Structure 1
Amino acid sequence: MMMTQTGKGYLFALITALCWSTSGLFVKEVGQSSFVIVGIQALIALIFNLLYTKEKIRFTAFTMIVGFIQFMMHLTFVLANQYTTVGNAIVLQYSSMIFVLIYQSIDQRKKPEMYQIFVILLALTGMIIFFIDGFSFDSILGNGLAILSGAFFGLQFYLNTKEKADAISSVKIQYLISILALLIYSIKNPVASFTLKDGIFLLAAGIITVGISGITFAKCIERIPAFSANVVCMSEVIFAPILALIFLKEWFTMHSLIGAILIILSLLYNMYKQKGEKYV
């Protein structure tokens, strides 16, 4: 049985979330500034992306704006991980769902559907409970950067569903902006000495967190609505602790289990409500 375009969109969104969930783990292991991390990840991802697709980059005002927004989303998220915990950064970044609905309401001049509001409240409740054991407001700067990253995160989702959008071109433009920012930063600031550990984790992050996810994200956003893509990608908050369990031997707490159940329920309910809609 052939998978529908909508089904493929959800699958690509899930793979994207899995790739993104490695970001915090890799960032914590690299002793470099955020500009260096983002720039080198982008360089590796660009090479990986060019090997995967030969499509030319479409330089339009719209694709460049989206590319810059994606660059800011990545930079602020890396910064957030350096100032606050991985859990806090992930939870607060997923305020992006709220921003998607705000952008949509402003653009279309209509109120969100009741089920969308319910999904957001259920998911946010789950995320708060999921990380309640380690949630702290001490790192005000990191938490603020994570929320700002969420605003950019939601905006990239929404803009990439527009007719003028070219998700693959925007991703490549994001890489170019990141590399340019690295060069400018390196001129004014000495880069810390690289260790073998830095190189390994940056290579992995470039290929997995940025490279593969950039391709799967572009494919998912072309097939499903921005709100649905955002909700599915929110499963990153489940994948990240699972990876921590596997590689760091961290066990789930009761709060984590309850929160995970609520998040999964929100994902399933949203997909149920969207099942009657058709997206090519």
Structure 2
Amino acid sequence: MNKNGTQKKHHFMRLLAGLPLSVLYLLSDLAFVVLYYIIRYRRRLVRENLTCSFPEKGKEEIIRIEKAFYHNLCDVFIEAFKCLNISDEEMLRRVEILNCELPERLASEGKNIFMLLGHCGCWEWYQEVSVRYKNPKKGAEIYKQIENKYFASLMQELRSRWNTTQIEMRQTVRTMLQWNAEGEPFLCGFICDQRPDTKGRDDVTFLNQNTWYLPGAEEIAKKVNAELVYLDAEKTSRGHYRLTFNEMKPNEEEKLSPYPLSRCFWRLLEQNIRRQPEIWLWSHNRWYKWELTE
């Protein structure tokens, strides 16, 4: 697409994002019908993930969660898109953040903070936490580069809405070391429930399944004097969320692992998901069968 066409498309997107969420949710309802009943987007994968994760639940309950998930997925797309044109006042009404005293206390102690979270609710809104606490003043988010240049540019704009520095995943270690050397405490957000591109260096039983992961956040934290905290997410109603900063305290079994804090993250995330399963990203191929490719 040429530059003029891209500008027109972007202008249209901003105008569309200017519609009230109440109107945009009508588009979300329509998208649910198309996604679930017509396109049947990843329905087999979602059903398999839910069935394996909750063997104790009957088919009717699994289907109920499945449909609620697709409704939520459509809402997440709409809410992320709305970041192009949403006021700080509206975000303040829609996102409640508890225990901001935790990052403020850690920053006052001279510690950097790594905020670990999963794909629960509208994670694109959670960068707004950076304006809710007094310290640390510097904040960042780790992201994976998108191949499509237009959508990569659009996502950069969405994610920079609250002056959060965007760090491409491959630049994480170098940037964190540089920031740590500058001596000013910072908070960096890591979405840690993605499937690794390689098999991973550790595995854990998560949602009743063997799950490989990369303990990158914990390893980097050791290099830069960072404390790991967990951001719990709850969807209180449509378009409204409650986020809570939680300390990460490994239990006795987790302390025996080379990566106790990473193990603690998976336990806290599972508790988060079991409390409200429909808000997690079930369409992600999280449990790729690595052993079948070896």
**How would you bin the TM-score normalised by the shorter chain?**
under 0.3
Which gives a bigger RCO, structure 1 or 2 (Cα 8 Å, sep 6+)?
1
Q: TM-score, normalised by structure 1?
A: 0.25
Structure number having the greater helix percentage: 1
- Could you tell me the TM-score, scaled by structure 2's length? 0.24
